[in-house]
Every structure is written in C-alpha cells, then in structure tokens.
Chains A and B, each alone.
Chain A
C-alpha cells in the first residue's frame, strides 16, 4: 500500500512538469515545427501556378527541385543566385561587424557621467525606432544622384568627388544597402553593450588604474574579455538577422517592383522574387530549406565554438 502511494507520487512527479510544458510544446509544434515540415514537403512538390490550387496534393517529384537548384545551371532559380549569395555574405559580415563595432564604441563613450547623458542615449537610439521599410524608402531618396542629400554633402559641400556618383545603380548600390542597415542596427547594439558594461564591477578598473594601466589597455584586457559572451551572442543574432534581410533592399529599389541589380540583390529578395513572381513555389521552398539547414549548421558550429564564452560561470 505504502509502496503504491510512493510510485503514484513518483509518477505524478514525472508527469506534472511535462503537463506544465505541454502548452509551450504545443505552441512550438504549431508555430515552428508544422510550418517547417510543411515547407519541407512543399519543396518536394511540383508547385507552380497551375498546381498551386492543389497545394499539398500537387505532383510529388521527390528531390527534383533540389537537384535543379544545386546541379542544373539552367534552373531559373539559379539566375542571379551567385550575385545574391556573394552580396549576402559580404553584406552580412560587413553590417554585423560595423554595427557591433560602432555600438560597442559608442556604448563605451556613453558609459560615464556627463550632463545630458540620458538625452544623448535616447537620441542615439532613434534610428532603431524607424521601421526598416521606412529606412529603405527614406534612404532611397537620400541616395538619389541629382537631388539626394548624400551627394549634396559629399560633392557640393565637401568636394570629395568631382562628379556626382550613382548610389542606386551599379556597384555603389552595395553601399547603398550596407550603410542604412548599419545606421539602423548599431543603436540597439549600443543599448545592449551599455547594459553589459554597467554590469562590469568598477573595482576592476580601479585596481587597473592603481597599477598604472592605460585606458586603452583596460579596454582590451578588462572590458573586451568581460563583454565576450555578449559580443558572441550579438554577433550570431546579427548574422541571422542580416542573412534574412529583405525590407531595406525591397523598398529602396522601386518599392518591391524594381530590381536591385547584381550588387544589391540579397538572398531573401531573390527568393521572394523567384517564388512569388516566377511562381516556382516548390523550388522556392527548396531554397528556403537549404538556407535553413545552412543556418542551423552555422548556429551549431558557432554555439559549439563559443559555448565556454557564453556561459556566465566562465
């Protein structure tokens, strides 16, 4: 009898936490797992304009979509993929590094007492509040060759160029997407680094100052190592965010109607175009799935490499 009560209690103990987890698990299944599985299944179908109404009953073609994307140079989805891939990698790396560097730099500058500190922090945060599609539209005007403010400043005021450069045509369009993205991304980095900086105990700096260590050395030997966990995590988030970048490119080059060209096209705009403008939904789903797997591999490697840095005990 006593034994029975014990097992019952044990059973209760085992089941109860899972019951509590159940809503979260259900939510994960509905919100994450189901669409992923559905997306994967879509990538195995011949899903185009004529078969779209059959949706998941569209002809099953196995890994044909993957074969076409990966091995058939004539696949429409491959057109421009090389450019988009190159741009996305350069763009992601550049935006992530710059946003973190500027965010960290400004956070360090702001992490001291000076009059109007709170106002400065609030004002510097403003670019982050602007929605990315508005950023795309506004910078689209600012980059204009003849009337845009950027050329007015660079050419008319600073005389940095003899001739007004194009920013929305040709290779310069790469900078036309990098700079606004950095402009919008660094303030939130700053905010996060500021919070992390404030968690570093003052006595470490005091001890270093007493030992005659310069401010630069303090930054490299105290601040940076202690911020490493935050930097590692933020870098990963930045990479994920920027690889999936869409809005700024889409809005800057003809509100989604134009084409950003071979120097500003990124993977996500390309994928959207190939899927929704060319109606190759099956191939689009296959590319999405490949991207997701690559991303998982990247995140896995990143997490494994920096696991020690990310644990607070370290």
Chain B
C-alpha cells in the first residue's frame, strides 16, 4: 500500500510537473476538484459563472477548478491516470476517453446513471460514441460539448464572382470549379485566394483531412480497427483532391506553413474566400475588436456557412468535443456525479455554449431557441446529422500522432519544397505513413 503510494507519487512527480494543485484534497466531504481545458476566453471566470447556480443551491460544497491548456493537458491527464492521483471530475477530449478508460482510471457510468441522463438518445450520436470503446458498451463519460466543422465563405466574394454558394458546395466537382472562379477576386483592394488551409505546423492536420477522406469512402483504420488504411485508393483520392487546391494555386503555398489560428486570421483579414473551421469562430466574428474579436471586419458582415461538399461516398463532417468523467480515485463519487449531472444538464450546456460558442452535446440543449436565434449557429446545428467521429479505440492517441507527423511532412511535397508534387509522391508518403502507423499499433498492443 505504502510502496504503491510512493510509486504513484514518483510517477506523478515525473510526468505531472506542477499540476498537483488539485490533488489530495478530496478527502473533505464538501470539496470537489475538477480539471477543465481552456476553451472559452476566460475559462476560470466562466467556470465560476457556470457553477454559480449549483453552488448557490449547495452552499456547503467547494469546487476547485484547475484550467489546463489543450497542448499540455494530455500529458497531465495521462500522468494523473497512471498515478491514480487526480481530480474528482475530468474533462476529456473525445478522442481520449477510450485511452484513459483503458488505463483503468475512470469510474464507469452505471446503466441507471445513464438512464438518469437520458442515455444515448439524448446526445449528439457522434459524440455519444466517444463515451465508450467501439468494442465495449461500458460507458465512462458523459458528453459535455461538441465541436463541429463546416465551411465559412465570403458571401460578397461569391456574389462578385457570380457563384451560387449552394451549388458551389454541392459536390467536389462544383466546389473545385467555384474555387477556380473565385481565386484572384479583388475585394476592398485586396486580391483574394479562393481557399485557405494550414499545412504541417498545426494540430488540426488530421481533423482537416478527415471529412474529405470519409466522403471519398476512405478511413483511417480498417473496419476491425487493427491496421491503418490511410494509403487506400479512396483515401489517396481524397488527399490528392484536397492537396490539389494548394498545388493548383487556389490555396496560397504560404498558407501551408501556418497554423489554424493564422488561417482564421487570414479569413478575417480577407486573404481567403473560404476556410473550413469550427463554430468557435462565430464568437470572434460577433465580438468587438476592443475585446479581441473581429466584429468590425468586412468578413464579419459578409460570411455564410455551408456543409462540406459531398464526395462520391458521402457528406460527412468531423465532430469532436469534450466529455466529462469521474476518476476512479475520487473519494467523493456521489458528489462528483451530482456535479457532473449539473454540468451536463440542458441549462448548463446552453450556458456553456454561449461562453464557448461550441455546440451543446445534449440534443435538447442544442435546439435551445435562444441559441437557434442566431442563423449561423443554426447552420452548425444542421451539421449534426452529418457528424462523424474517429473510431473510439484506446490507441487513437499514438495513431493520431503518427498521422499528424507524416501527413504534416507530406505538405513539404505539396508546397513544392521536397520533390515534385504528384499522385505518386503523395501515395509514397501515405505508404510510409501507413507502415509507421501499423508499427505503432503493433507496439502498443
């Protein structure tokens, strides 16, 4: 008992490096620790606001909120999971639940508790799918919010080029034609590129590619989830189509060295007529410049939202988000569950959605009339039926890292700084990616 305690501490010390603020104090009955990621502009304050009604009706309870940033959260959470010393409630990115639960760190959500929350039918299906492993029905988390992706386009530029957005986003052929028409349009004295997307120096590399691969009938993992199929003909077709925009000059090659934030800034500044991004941008487009928003920009008054253009095999979009889970090590599981039910309740999810501009994961909150009053928000809600998530497997983390690295490197070819861009070169890059992905999958078995 003592040895394992010391060991756990060693491990925490080794990996956690400074995030032990919330540990070890769960023993007091009326105190809960929660770790959340920085998703809103003022996460700590927003959490305080979000928890206010609950704390008002539970005056003896104290909730300590620790805000983690997304970049470092993963290592801190794995350290907490491995050492068994962490908070009572944990926010987990949707791709992480299977991994952390496979480390035996999460308290299962019982059937009765699931029924209390409304079970699968109460939540966005793509997000509910992340609360358990694909091959196991034991649920370990409850969906908190969803992150959906769609196309943001400049209505004024489309109009000027005489392109009908509805038609443009119909399928891959019409989308390419529309982009060719729009490329080089001059608006406000500025020559615009048709499309903007980041290349390798970004964490969204795979998320950006996912809908295209899926819509071509491809995938990242085989149906039995044992090996990579990133080099399948379908995936190759999708990736060649996606990268052809950069190769043909419809995406400026300088975009390929930028990250998502810089690409979004490029859209706000009128550098690109179309970008694919998430609902969080809506928050920026409606916030005045003085508060760090883009409300005064031309883009803020001239933008629309459309679904991804349909490929030969579908019209899906990438969904992710966050779930809330209770750690097995929590000494206050009852209280933690009560707080979790509050945070994933309809009202709390609506409030949090207003703060973060993410979609509530709960379907009844998703269609909240106040939220739906914003037509752009409603455009995002319309994506729910097309939502798809990565397979919920414990080894997704390492796999995504392999994809991120290799596909990121592939953009050197697309930018023309590493050999000549061709389908063959892309195929070669994807073969290498698949081989490395399979090695990592084998290794972590």
Contacts and interface: CB of A to CB of B under 8 A. Distances in A.
A254 B82 contact: no
Interface string A45-60: 0001110110111000
A264 B230 CA distance: 25
B394 A256 contact: no
Contacts of A223: none
A1 to B, nearest CB: 50
A129 B274 CA distance: 41
A204 interface: no
A273 B405 contact: yes
B257 A144 contact: yes
A239 interface: no
Contacts of A57: 7
Contacts of B78: 52, 279
B105 interface: yes
Interface stretch (B39-47, B96-104, B143-151): B96-104
Contacts of B81: 52-53
Nearest to B433: A79
A261 B412 contact: yes
* B8, B256, B444: residue with the most chain A Cβ atoms closer than 10 Å: B444
Nearest to B81: A53
Contact of B444 (A50, A140, A171): A50
B200 A76 contact: no
Given A278-B402, A279-B398, A258 B408 contact: yes
Contacts of A11: none
B258 A144 contact: yes
A155 B394 CA distance: 49
Interface in A224-270: 253-259, 261-262
Contacts of B258: 144
Nearest to B11: A55
B211 interface: no
Contacts of A74: 435, 439
A126 B102 CA distance: 48
A53 B394 contact: no
Nearest to A147: B254
Interface in A86-104: none
A277 B408 contact: no
A172 B418 CA distance: 11
A234 B245 CA distance: 50
Interface in A71-124: 74-76, 79-80
A205 B397 CA distance: 64
B71 interface: yes
Nearest to A39: B14
A47 B79 CA distance: 13
Contact of B408 (A140, A259, A279): A259
A118 B199 CA distance: 46
B409 interface: yes
Contacts of A131: none
Interface stretch (A162-170, A189-197, A207-215, A294-302): A162-170
Most buried by A among B199, B201, B418: B201
A255 B71 contact: yes
Interface in A152-179: 164, 166, 168-172
Nearest to B408: A259
Contacts of B8: 55
Interface string B323-357: 00000000000000000000000000000000000
Give the residue among A74, A76, A170 with the most B Cβ atoms within 10 A.
A76
Contact of A257 (B11, B202, B252, B415): B202
Nearest to B102: A50
A169 B102 contact: no
Given A257-B404, A276-B75, A49 B99 contact: yes
B443 A259 contact: no
A169 B412 contact: yes
Nearest to A283: B443
Indicate the member of B102, B397, B443 with the most A CB atoms within 10 Å: B443
Given A166-B257, A168-B257, A255-B259, A278 B401 contact: yes
Contact of B103 (A38, A49, A76, A166): A49
Contact of B102 (A49, A79, A172, A259): A49
A286 interface: no
Given A48-B443, A253-B200, A273-B401, A145 B103 contact: no
A170 B404 CA distance: 17
A49 B444 contact: yes
B257 A145 contact: yes
B84 A53 contact: yes
Given A146-B252, A258-B200, A49 B398 contact: yes
Interface string A23-51: 00000000000000010000000001110
B71 A257 contact: yes
A56 B9 CA distance: 12
A256 B439 contact: no
A119 B166 CA distance: 64
A138 to B, nearest CB: 14
B299 to A, nearest CB: 18
Contacts of B103: 49-50, 52-53
A53 B398 contact: no
B320 to A, nearest CB: 15
A134 B167 CA distance: 45
Interface string B405-433: 11011011001011000000000000000
B444 A144 contact: no
A258 B415 contact: no
A52 B99 CA distance: 12
Given A55-B7, A169-B200, A277 B409 contact: no
Sorted nearest first, the 4 A-B pairs with minimum C-beta distance are: A170-B417, A257-B203, A277-B401, A258-B201
10 contacts: A49-B394, A50-B102, A76-B443, A169-B411, A169-B415, A257-B259, A259-B405, A278-B443, A279-B398, A280-B440
Interface of B: 7-8, 10-11, 71, 75, 78, 81-84, 99, 102-105, 199-203, 205, 252-254, 256-259, 394-395, 397-398, 401-402, 404-406, 408-409, 411-412, 415, 417-418, 435-436, 439-440, 443-444
Given A166-B253, A254-B202, A277-B397, 14 more contacts: A49-B99, A49-B444, A52-B81, A52-B82, A52-B103, A168-B257, A171-B418, A254-B201, A255-B71, A255-B203, A258-B201, A278-B443, A280-B398, A280-B443
